[in-house]
Amino acid sequence: MSSSNIDRRDFLRVLGISGAAATLAGCGNTSIESGAELVESYVQPEDFVVPGVGVYYASTCTQCGSGCGIMGRVREGRILKLEGNPQSLISGGKICGLGQAGVQVHYNPDRLTTPMIREAGAFKPVSWDKAMATLTARLGSSSTLSGDQIAVLTGEISGHQKVLLGHFLESFKSANHIVYDALSPAIGQAANKAVLGVEQPVLQIDKARLILSFGNDFLGTGPSPVHMAAQYARFRKAPRGTLIQIEPRMTLTGANADRWYAIKPGTEGVFALGIAHSLLQHQEYAHAVPAEIAEALKQYDKDTVSEVTGIHADAISHIAGMLWEKSPSLVLSGPSAEGHVHGFNNAAAILLLNLVLENRGKTLQGQASHPFPQLTPASGSTTALAKLNQAMSAGQCQALLVMGANPVFTAPTFVPFASNLAKVPFKVAFATQLDETAHQCDLVLPLLSPMEDFGTHVAGYQPSGVELAIQQPLMERLYPETRGLGDILLDLLKQRQPEAYKAFPDYYAYIKTAVTKAKPVFKSKSSDDDFWEDALRNGVLRLEAPPAALEAHAATVKVGKPQALETDVNFPFFFVPSVRADLRDGRHANLPWLQESPDPLTTVVWDSWVEIHPTTAAQMQIREGDILEVQSATGSVRAKAYLFPGIQPDTVSMPLGQGHTGYGRYADGMGVNPFKIFDPMYDERTGELALYATRVIIKKTGEHARVVKDEGATNLQQGRKLVATMAADQAELAKEISRVTQ
Amino acid sequence: MSLSNLIKNWSSLRVKRPYEDQYKDKDYKWAMVIDLDACTGCNACTTACYAENNLPVVGREAFSKGQAMHWLRIERYWGEGEHMDKFPDHGAQFLPMMCQQCESAPCEVVCPVGATHHTPDGLNSQVYNRCIGSRYCSANCPYKVRYFNWWQYPERAWPNPLEQQLNPDVTVRSKGVMEKCTFCVQRLTEAKNRARTEGRRVADGEVTTACAQACPTSAITFGNLADDKSQVARIWERQQIKLASDKQEKDENLRGYRIFEELRTYPSVVYLERVRDSEA
């Protein structure tokens, strides 16, 4: 599983043990050697710094919420490169491109280097003393704010930073920690909870012989892509599992499918129930669902389902046959199935298949119970933002602290976050770099980069047991006028509750105490200091724990009449946004490696584009590079056409993440922001924004520009044996030598 | 390498290398295997390559002119035929493409100054300070994996403090020179030196390339072909691929192949065929 057998003893060294005191030895009897005089070297090497030799320190990646263990290569005091940490079960010693680019957050030329304060409409750099004075004047011991008057808006956050934030809010008698995730999986989580009893089950991809995925991009943008990729590698070894992907627009996972089907967006639930209907013809599955569901499923005959979904009728019985043959299977629902008005029902219908096929306990498990529930991440949603937006609009919110979220960029047009933000009298951004939201705040505090700070992280997706991931600095801070979020929060708490926090001189002392207090849970017999140093050296504290059982609530799945999609003559196309594994919701668009890393499916760089199926493009006489206006009822954006075969012909797709206007030199001016054309459509069960339910019309503008992409003149191999493909029944994978299976 | 020298040595360049058991008594012959059934096209390897080898980010305009400097790129194909008017029913076809470290490299013979040549451990090396920028090598490379510095990237690609990320083990190349994948020669050199100091050969798995180290599905295997117990040598043997052959005689159900082998470049990279369940 690990990348190599590189000697770990050479790789992993402890940070922070006291260095050997500079000793001088030699021959002769000078006053120096006899100790009468002390000569100190002008150059005092730091611990483990050997010029020319790179040393690896363990830490944790914070680029997404997966909590991958990483190792940073440090040489001459500089962090140079990140690798996966083999001690971490989540990363398994591997790392993705997004994780690699973590060093560019740290070295970004557009990083904030001093606090800034808004004066007469413009930002002015100020000292930390001044900035903290401004902050404590409002939020210190004399603050009169309480309850709903104060709110903290963050992205996904876990560990002790989350705990301190909670304590900080508690000191105001407030619980307004709003976790906003523009690409929230909340609809799918709600369906998991209703059908399986847990929000996020553990997927055992490697144990499945057949995976049927409805738009679940577990290799690209799922909850733990690096871990899933390692499982996928084992899934593909003998006996080789089969992957069938059904989605309106091909994701990275779809690109790796044995069989890929284009489906009309939003009809995934109908297709899943069609398969359920077909499966129930088999005697062994007949009793898997309650009688009324079995009865209702009779409406889902293959011709009806085929007409609604646009997939050939034979595919339904074929897939059902394969599911019957290749057990255990795993049926997954993904964002493109869930982001609809009936998204919850879609996801529940898809999950029902797992109950029919009895995949519980085989390829689907419950996560082990967590010994530190207060450290687990708060799941983000879009409803949380809507609620905050209302409170701001009503003038309730007097002080807002923002970190790790950029709603001015990602909030849809009908959630006028930017204008309501102006109604908040005191807005503070904590950031390593200015973004669109920070630009509108009154005070901006520059944070340490993730390469400079301590922290603890708990991933929301724990593949096995529980990992408490430790983040430690991989180098000294680049800018003296930057501070860690934990330290700032601790300072504020010390002002408000001096007695409770006086024991902790800084955040380092706080988490060291907190982590060593957890020692009994990890059944360690070492001393506190040894336990802490081991934790730093390994980068992760692991606790083995058995998986929990999943429940089965088939009766909660609502099986209505198979509904055909309504057509909208004004907006004839379905609009399917695509989420890039590197840029995500746009928070990583400031990293040059990721901007220049071609999108895997289209190979386009540094831009936005509109994907359209070649046959549709031919009918509309659209060529690659024609600038199209994509207009919804809410708004419109313009981008170049890209002819893409992996898309349903009545659908157009655009990638999210580009179109920044205040996020530094690498992000600004690159492409457009499709968040701004989403229609106000909501999942009727959860109230979450339905990201895949927008309809658009395509207009040719008559303009044309060259698409900047990596692919050459042809997409086709034209007889050259570049990528050869072998049929699965021909390849003798069991006889091959592979590190993955060893 | 002058023209007369080139003509004089033509036969040795084109025929004598590689020959059977060329590396039999040598300590090292670096080689690679890429499993296309495991590769998901995720670009982790390409980003790792940027980080390890000081590859400049060229920006949109230069990229549009084909001046990207990605030593390792993921090519994406949709299949055979003339048009792509149907759905790609079996997904995309991803191909990680980098210098194949050919044993009989077409780039080496055309270099007028000997800036690209073959090392004793089987790498196709590029000597930056010998390169005069004729770009003949790039024109002659059938894999199109050589990248030319059209601009003085050190002046523009790493605005302060991005330059602090640069790997001190790797040169930053200036305008007018050709560059390409080196199999992370700086890592190999370090490992070889360490092993030599300790009086041994580099052990299997002791050193790997940045791409192989990052790859989340472990699709890339790197190692020493001269060590017949190494993973890479065992895979080559099991796949019945012979380094010095331009047409492999192998069993039908084996997935190993080398790209453009028929051009007699004798590449050091074996690809394992992508697999698809044709029943699905």
Domain edges within chain B? 29-78+89-272
Residues of A with Cβ-Cβ distance to B37 under 8 angstroms = 236
The Cα A363–Cα A208 span in angstroms is 6
**To 10 degrees, what angle do helices A485-496 and A159-170 make?**
30
CB count, 10 Å around CB of A717? 18
The Cα B83–Cα A537 span in angstroms is 55
- A219 shares contact with chain B (CB less than 8 Å): yes
**To 10 degrees, what angle do helices A268-279 and A313-325 make?**
60
Give per-residue pLDDT as tens, B152-208: 999 999 999 999 999 999 999 999 999 999 999 999 999 999 999 999 999 999 999
Q: What is the pairing mode between strands B220-224 and B30-35?
A: antiparallel
Inform me whether the pLDDT recorded for A504 exceeds 90: yes
What percent of chain A lies above the pLDDT cut of 90?
86
Q: How confident is the model at residue A42 (pLDDT cuts 50, 70, 90)?
A: low
Q: How far is CA B155 from the centre of its chain?
A: 27
pLDDT number for residue A49: 73
The Cα A228–Cα A206 span in angstroms is 9
- Residue B43 near residue A600 (C-beta atoms within 8 A): yes
Question: If you ran DSSP here, which 8-state letter would residue A550 be given?
Answer: P
Q: Please, which residues 37-96 of chain A have a Cβ atom closer than 8 Å to chain B?
A: 52, 75-76, 78-84, 94-96
- CA torsion sign for A379, A383, A386, A391 is negative
Closest CA to A339 of A291, A391, A382: A382
Q: What is the pairing mode between strands A122-125 and A116-119?
A: antiparallel
Question: If you ran DSSP here, which 8-state letter would residue B124 be given?
Answer: E
Nearest to B160 among A95, A109, A722 (CB): A109
Residues of A with Cβ-Cβ distance to B275 under 8 angstroms = 236, 240, 725-728, 731, 733
Inform me whether the pLDDT recorded for A324 exceeds 50: yes
Q: How confident is the model at residue A702 (pLDDT cuts 50, 70, 90)?
A: very high
Q: What are the backbone angles phi and psi of residue A543, rounded to the nearest 5°?
A: -130, 120
- A718 shares contact with chain B (CB less than 8 Å): yes
CATH value of B29-78+89-272 in 3.30.470.10, 3.10.20.740, 3.30.70.20, 3.40.50.300? 3.30.70.20
Inform me whether the pLDDT recorded for A33 exceeds 80: no
pLDDT number for residue A17: 23
DSSP strands (E only) in A182-271: 202-203, 210-214, 242-247, 259-262
Give per-residue pLDDT as tens, A224-252: 999 999 999 999 999 999 999 999 999 99
CA separation, residue A389 to residues A246, A392, A394 (Å): 35, 5, 9
CA separation, residue A722 to residues A155, B69, B147, B240 (Å): 43, 21, 20, 19
- CA torsion sign for A631, A635, A636, A642 is negative
* Six-digit token string for A319: 């897939």
Q: Contact B215/A3, CB-based, under 8 Å?
A: yes
pLDDT number for residue A31: 66
**What residue type is assigned to position A66 of the chain?**
S
The Cα A84–Cα B207 span in angstroms is 15
The Cα A667–Cα A488 span in angstroms is 28
Contacts of A343 (CB under 8 A, 6+ apart): A187, A337, A683, A685, A686, A688, A690, A692, A693
Burial class for B12, CB neighbours closer than 10 Å (0-12, 13-18, 19+): exposed
Is the bond into B18 cis (omega within 30 degrees of 0)?
Answer: yes
Chain A closest CA to B4's CA: distance in Å?
35
Least confident of A38-47, A51-60, A576-585: A38-47
The Cα A684–Cα A690 span in angstroms is 9
Chain A closest CA to B152's CA: distance in Å?
18
Given phi > 0 = left and psi -120 to 50 = alpha, else beta, which region is A447? Answer: beta
Contacts of A486 (CB under 8 A, 6+ apart): A160, A161, A164, A453, A454, A455, A507, A510, A511
Q: Please, which residues 597-636 of chain A have a Cβ atom closer than 8 Å to chain B?
A: 597-598, 600-601, 603, 605-607, 614-615, 618
Chain A closest CA to B223's CA: distance in Å?
10
pLDDT number for residue A716: 85
Give per-residue pLDDT as tens, A338-379: 999 999 999 999 999 999 999 999 999 999 988 999 999 988
Residues written for chain B = 280
Residues of B with Cβ-Cβ distance to A609 under 8 angstroms = none
Chain B closest CA to A356's CA: distance in Å?
21
* Alpha helix ranges (H) inside A171-267: 186-196, 225-235, 252-255
* Six-digit token string for A671: 């492409």
Inform me whether the pLDDT recorded for A116 exceeds 70: yes
**To 10 degrees, what angle do helices A302-309 and A268-279 make?**
160
- Residue A262 near residue A248 (C-beta atoms within 8 A): yes
DSSP strands (E only) in B2-60: 30-35
Nearest to A724 among B38, B94, B273 (CB): B273
The Cα A660–Cα A673 span in angstroms is 7
Nearest to A252 among B42, B58, B86 (CB): B42
Closest CA to A231 of A212, A208, A251, A249: A208
- A593 shares contact with chain B (CB less than 8 Å): yes
Inform me whether the pLDDT recorded for A27 exceeds 50: no
Q: Could you give all domains of chain A from N- to C-terminal order, each with its CATH number?
A: 1-107+455-481+519-557 (2.20.25.90), 116-182+382-447+484-517 (3.40.50.740), 202-365 (3.40.228.10), 573-704 (2.40.40.20)
Mean of per-residue pLDDT scores for chain B = 93
pLDDT number for residue A15: 25
Q: Which of A716, A735, A742 best probes binding to B when mutated, by most B CB atoms within 10 angstroms?
A: A716
Least confident of A22-36, A462-476, A683-697, A704-718: A22-36
Q: Contact B218/A1, CB-based, under 8 Å?
A: yes
CA separation, residue A247 to residues A104, A263, A587 (Å): 33, 5, 25
- A742 shares contact with chain B (CB less than 8 Å): no
Q: How confident is the model at residue A25 (pLDDT cuts 50, 70, 90)?
A: very low
The stretch B43-61 carries a mean pLDDT of 97
The Cα A351–Cα A362 span in angstroms is 14
Chain A closest CA to B274's CA: distance in Å?
5
The Cα B213–Cα A194 span in angstroms is 40
**What residue type is assigned to position A470 of the chain?**
I
Q: Which of A427-436, A518-527, A710-719, A729-738 has the highest mean pLDDT?
A: A427-436
**What residue type is assigned to position A196 of the chain?**
L
Q: How confident is the model at residue A24 (pLDDT cuts 50, 70, 90)?
A: very low
- Residue A60 near residue A70 (C-beta atoms within 8 A): yes
* Six-digit token string for A513: 């105490």
The Cα A605–Cα A598 span in angstroms is 5
Question: If you ran DSSP here, which 8-state letter would residue A540 be given?
Answer: E
Closest CA to A738 of B75, B277, B243, B37: B37
Question: If you ran DSSP here, which 8-state letter would residue A522 be given?
Answer: G
Query: SS3 for A615?
Result: helix
Nearest to B238 among A233, A596, A737 (CB): A737
**To 10 degrees, what angle do helices A485-496 and A128-139 make?**
50
* Six-digit token string for A280: 């129930």
Mean of per-residue pLDDT scores for chain A = 92
Q: Which strands make up the sheet holding A210-214, listed edge to edge?
A: A259-262, A242-247, A210-214, A329-333
- CA torsion sign for A301, A307, A308, A314 is positive
Inform me whether the pLDDT recorded for A721 exceeds 70: yes
pLDDT number for residue A40: 67
Is the bond into B161 cis (omega within 30 degrees of 0)?
Answer: yes
Inform me whether the pLDDT recorded for A16 exceeds 80: no
- Residue A574 near residue A695 (C-beta atoms within 8 A): yes
Q: Contact B90/A614, CB-based, under 8 Å?
A: no
Q: Which residue's entry shows tokens 């505090």?
A: A445
* Six-digit token string for A526: 């070492």
Nearest to A708 among B43, B60, B259 (CB): B60
Q: What is the pairing mode between strands A177-179 and A150-154?
A: parallel
CA separation, residue B124 to residues B184, B222, B236, B258 (Å): 12, 16, 20, 17
Nearest to B43 among A97, A103, A257 (CB): A97
Q: What are the backbone angles phi and psi of residue B137, rounded to the nearest 5°?
A: -60, -45
Q: Please, which residues 441-470 of chain A have a Cβ atom closer than 8 Å to chain B?
A: none
Selected residue with higher pLDDT from B8 and A275: A275
pLDDT number for residue B12: 60
B219: closest chain A residue by CA: A233
Q: How confident is the model at residue A3 (pLDDT cuts 50, 70, 90)?
A: very low
- Residue A159 near residue A457 (C-beta atoms within 8 A): yes
The stretch A17-42 carries a mean pLDDT of 51
DSSP3 helix / strand / coil % (chain B, rounded to 5): 25, 15, 60
Inform me whether the pLDDT recorded for A34 exceeds 50: yes
Q: Which helix (H) or strand (E) holds A71?
A: strand A69-75
CB count, 10 Å around CB of A275? 28
